[in-house]
């Protein structure tokens, strides 16, 4: 396969093509980034940060859910006709009953949190760009001398599509004659 027939990698930033390069060069960039031990360590550290950040956000939202459920319970006790009975129950309840009530509140908060996460589509989806992708994009930008930042997409086709020769004036005239004959007869 000659250089002219070699597959081409097309580089898009913000869905605008900013350049192209031979697919062989792109694969060399990928291989060199995969071999770099600093990128692997950076990726491991970022993964740990992602897990810790996700767990922290989940715990923060869980505490918010507990506070919300407790506030709803207190509001119910204040506004319901039998609110005095609820307060009296808390005063005279056995410790096992209070623990059971707190477990119910905790479970309610967890269910509320999971329901909100499922409805909003954020069950555990905290965005993070991998160090590997960031380094590949940086090297491609350097190679193509692209000054802009933004989301990058790289596409390629293994087979070069066959391009048509286009439509000539003769083709248009022949088509016009065929249409004229078909409209007459």
Identify the pLDDT of residue 171: 66
pTM of the model: 0.53
Confidence of residue 158 (pLDDT cuts 50, 70, 90): low
Q: Is the pLDDT of residue 159 over 70?
A: no
Say whether 88 sits in a helix, a strand or coil.
helix
Query: What is the Cα Rg of the chain in Å?
Result: 32
Least confident residue range of 69-73, 122-126, 164-168: 164-168
Q: How confident is the model at residue 96 (pLDDT cuts 50, 70, 90)?
A: very high
* Percent of the chain clearing pLDDT 70 (strictly above): 84
Every domain of the chain and the residues it spans = 1-185
Specify the pLDDT at position 178. 80
CA-closest candidate to residue 27, choices 139, 125, 123, 127: 139
**What's the whole-number mean pLDDT along residues 79-108?**
86
- Does residue 131 carry a pLDDT above 80? yes
CA dihedral 54, 59, 65, 68 (to 10 degrees): -120
């Amino acid at each position: 396969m000659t250089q002219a027939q070699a597959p081409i990698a097309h580089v898009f930033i913000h869905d605008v093509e900013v350049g192209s390069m031979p697919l062989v060069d792109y694969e060399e960039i990928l291989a060199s980034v995969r071999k770099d031990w600093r990128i692997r360590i950076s990726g491991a550290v970022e993964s740990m940060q992602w897990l810790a950040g996700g767990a922290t956000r989940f715990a923060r939202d869980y505490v918010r859910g507990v506070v919300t459920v407790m506030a709803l319970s207190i509001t119910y006790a204040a506004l319901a006709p039998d609110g005095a009975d609820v307060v009296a129950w808390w005063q005279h309840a056995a410790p096992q009953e209070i623990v059971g009530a707190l477990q119910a509140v905790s479970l309610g908060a967890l269910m509320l949190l999971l329901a909100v996460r499922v409805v909003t589509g954020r069950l555990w989806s905290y965005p993070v760009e991998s160090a590997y992708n960031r380094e590949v994009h940086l090297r491609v930008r350097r190679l193509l001398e692209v000054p802009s930042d933004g989301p990058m997409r790289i596409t390629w086709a293994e087979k070069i599509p066959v391009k048509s020769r286009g439509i000539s004036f003769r083709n248009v005239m022949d088509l016009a004659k065929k249409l004229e004959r078909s409209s007459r007869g």
